[in-house]
Amino acid sequence: MDTFDKSLTNPHIVVLGVTGAGKSVTMDILSSRSLVTKNTQSAILDIEGEYKKRTEKIGGRIISIKQGVPSGINIFDIDVEQQENGLEKVNILNKVAEIRAILSGIMKNYMDRNLNAKELVDIEESVIETYKERGITSDKESIYEKEGGKIGNKLTLGKIKKRMPTLSDFQRILLTKKNSKELAEILSGFLKGKSLGMFDCTSNININDHAIDFDLSSINDEVTKFYASMVITTWITEKYMRRSERYEEKSVYIDEAWTMLKYEETANFIENLARRARKRGVRLVIATQLPDEMISTTQGRAILNCCGTAILMKQSPISVDKVIDYFKLSSGTRDYLLQARPGDALLDIEGTISAVSIEMLEKESEILKV
């Protein structure tokens, strides 16, 4: 199913159905077929670790997110960006907004309070000072070393990116701000060597890998999963969608999205991801077993409105009427959605409804199934 077709106003897809309806198989098929038939790239936020085997078999990379283990994602890594006027710069203020959003989520879910005005000022000053320590400013040349050197074991005379600051550098500077002592002390638990220090490290992910699986299955507590989800969705938005230019088409897959939509901050991130992905020609494919949670929230409805294609699989008695009402289906579809077999679905492409059966081909099953 090529939702990148120019005749469609939006390439995004939402897959809704109860456990066992066939959502994961559908996501597998959508991802794998596009990878083998086109010059495409995919990134998946794999909450349950269901896509690891598939990613391995198609030669992709698995990024295992584990407590206390460096993930290879540095939230302070920054690049040169092209602005709307065509000029290039290092957008430190955009990084300020990104860090502020992450810290806001941390404070709200760890301390049950919002950041205050003085903390917001301190965060901005500290982010700017963190980069200034490395000589990094808005000047696009400032993120590079002045002379060539080694990349691995190879000498080069070309541009070499400076060693980027990390969360430890930022936290050390934030500690000097008299109005942000509490915030800085809380961040000490997010530093390298601590259980939440997964993102206080240098970046080492090859952004041009054709398939990237962010495996969160080793994380059991909700607090850590919330933090990891915020950082990864930020990385996808700012790195994967913006920087990787080798591929004609790119897709982002989020399974078990209900685990993120229940938090305002991560729901906002997914909504932002959906809007920005469309503008950049990136397809978002999102699946959830709790469609009523999407339909009942402002962010969830905004995400649904961004999806030109909906795959409606078997529904629970609790959610079926909300799904019928939201997608403006006929009353006769109720029994179909309640009794659908695994793989059966209603396919809604910008208001045109068809009944379909989604199945793996024998060859796909051999490749993808364990």
Going from the N-terminus, what domains does the chain have, and what CATH number goes with each? 12-65+210-368 (3.40.50.300), 80-190 (1.10.8)
DSSP 212-257: EEEE-TT--SHHHHHHHHHHHHHHIIIIIHHH--S-SEEEEEESST
**Taking Cα atoms as reference points, which of 323, 355, 327 lies closest to residue 341?**
355
Q: What is the pLDDT along the chain (370 residues), one digit of tens a residue?
A: 677 777 788 889 999 999 999 998 898 888 877 766 567 788 999 988 888 888 888 888 999 999 999 999 999 999 988 777 778 999 999 999 999 999 998 898 888 899 999 999 999 999 999 999 999 999 999 999 876 555 555 555 568 889 999 999 999 999 999 999 999 999 999 999 999 999 999 999 887 788 899 999 999 888 888 899 889 988 887 787 776 566 678 889 998 888 888 888 888 888 888 887 877 778 999 999 999 889 988 999 999 999 999 999 999 999 999 999 999 999 899 999 999 999 999 999 999 999 999 988 776 676 665 4
Question: How buried is 366 (Cβ within 10 angstroms: 0-12 exposed, 13-18 middle, 19+ buried)?
Answer: exposed
Answer whether 294's CB lies under 8 Å from 261's CB.
yes
pTM, two decimals, is 0.85
Burial 151-180 (b: 16+ CB within 10 A, else e): eeeeeeeeebeeebbbbbbbbbbbbebeeb
Q: Residue 281 and residue 10: Cα distance in Å, rounded?
A: 9
- Report how far Cα 70 is from the mean position of its chain's Cα atoms: 18
Burial 103-137 (b: 16+ CB within 10 A, else e): bbbbbbbeeeeebeeebbebbbbbbbbbbeebebe
Which residues contact residue 62 at a Cβ distance below 8 angstroms, ignoring those fewer than 6 apart? 52, 55, 56, 213, 215
Answer whether 108's CB lies under 8 Å from 101's CB.
no
Using DSSP's 3-state secondary structure scheme, residue 295 falls into helix
Q: % helix / strand / coil in the chain, to the nearest 5?
A: 40, 20, 40
Q: Residue 12 and residue 4: Cα distance in Å, rounded?
A: 9
CA angle 183/188/129 to nearest 5° reads 65
Q: Residue 118 and residue 322: Cα distance in Å, rounded?
A: 43
For 80, phi and psi rounded to 5 degrees? -75, 135
